[in-house]
Amino acid sequence: MKKIKYLFVFLAILCSAIVLKPVTINSFALGSSGKAMCVLDKDSKRVLYSKNMNEQLPMASTTKVVTAITVLNNCSNLEQYIQVDDSAIGVEGTSIYLKKGETIRVIDLLYGLMLRSGNDSAVALACHVGGSVDGFAKLMNELATKIGANSSHFANPHGLDNREHYTTAYDLALITSYALNNPKFKQIVSTKNYVMPATNKSDKRYLTNKNRLLSTLDGCCGVKTGFTSKAGRCLVSAVERDNRTSVCVVLNCGPMFEESADLLDASFTDYEQTKIIDKNKEIFNEYIIDKNNGKLYLYTQEDFYYPLTKEEKSKLKLNYDVKLDDAQAGDEVGEIQVFLDKQLIKTLKLYTMNKIDKLIDSKTLQIREILWDENLDENK
């Protein structure tokens, strides 16, 4: 009987990086007097701070974040002139004072929507894109579902009080994170002042953004204020620093600007963007027993960054699940899972850097846990 030595390698690697214990707002000397709050890292979607973030609440004109991105997703020509629908004339609340029979560009209505918070702009855009307010609300709800904002329901494009119109701080942060990936959305909400060209019914309109954080908070890139007597003062804001963006939502919060600024500043003081996976470096590098006694190299095709507190930077657990059999260079052979305090936060596909010949006396090499047995013999 010939004894053949081979490896069933199973590796969970303990790196000097990160066993994460989710941070709660009580861990920090800051909070919010608002009814609900959520600070979200835009790219990883990690919740950095929260308070009642899943409570369904009215959100006033912060609704227009959803309105704007819904328009941008469904309107290919922003330079198009449209005639304002009669239903947009005289809508209650804030207004850019559209006139009956007025012809205006879609892009100008978007600036009127997000800077001046024009409710008439909202209705005009809704009728153009959705055919009616109800038709547009359906598109808004479809978008929310697509993004995963499953605790929200939209009944109108402007945010005036309605029993069927509500969101959560988390959902609104999630939708805003999605919207900020659209360059035109980001351009509009970060604009401090805008001049709307004259139309057939109006002289030029001069708009000033109501979000004062654009002028007072370093790196602020938007996004929207809101107020009704029922919703209270609401603010969605975002800050971009060092190639990372934090999104903050406060609902029914009196000092909304001050508290949002404190939360956003804290998100960059308390959390550091950490590169956990580097696509330019091999993830796995071990000898295996194949016909050529080759060495196995595995890699991912994307980097993975995650915001971490200093206290969290102690241990990171990476689990591999790989199966090999006559793998060619570049083949997908499994996945790597990143765990933080026993919670899965990311799964990435793994690929081979090199050709692997068929293993002797084994059809697959399985990698699942720490298991390294160099004395395992098999009788033939």
Query: What is the C-alpha to C-alpha distance for residues 111 and 324, in angstroms, rounded to an integer?
Result: 55
List the beta strands (DSSP E) in the chain: 4-5, 12-15, 36-41, 47-51, 81-83, 103-105, 193-196, 205-208, 220-228, 232-241, 244-251, 271-277, 284-287, 295-299, 304-309, 316-324, 332-340, 343-352, 365-367, 377-378
Tokens representing residue 367 in the block: 């990698």
DSSP states of 205-228 = EEEE-S-THHHHSTTEEEEEEEEE
For residue 96, which phi and psi values (nearest 5 degrees)?
-105, 5
Contact partners, residue 220, CB within 8 Å, separation at least 6: 190, 211, 213, 214, 237, 238, 239, 264
List the catalytic residue out of 35, 42, 51, 64. 64
61 an active-site residue? yes
Estimate to the nearest angstrom the gap between the alpha carbon of 186 and the chain centroid.
14
Name the phi and psi angles at 245, rounded to 5.
Answer: -125, 130
Among candidate residues 343, 342, 325, the one with its CA nearest the CA of residue 334: 325
d(CA 327, CA 122): 55
Q: What is the torsional sign of CA 258, 264, 268, 270? A: positive
CA 237, CA 264: separation in Å to the nearest integer?
A: 9
> Cα(325)–Cα(364) distance, rounded to whole angstroms?
5
Question: Of the listed 32, 61, 121, 190, which one is catalytic?
Answer: 61
Query: Is 64 a residue of the active site?
Result: yes
Alpha carbon 296 to its chain centroid, in Å, reads 35
Q: Is 314 a catalytic residue?
A: no
| Cβ-contact 294, 356 below 8 angstroms | yes
Kindly name the residue from 50, 95, 117, 267 that is annotated as catalytic. Answer: 117
Q: Which residues are catalytic?
A: 61, 64, 117
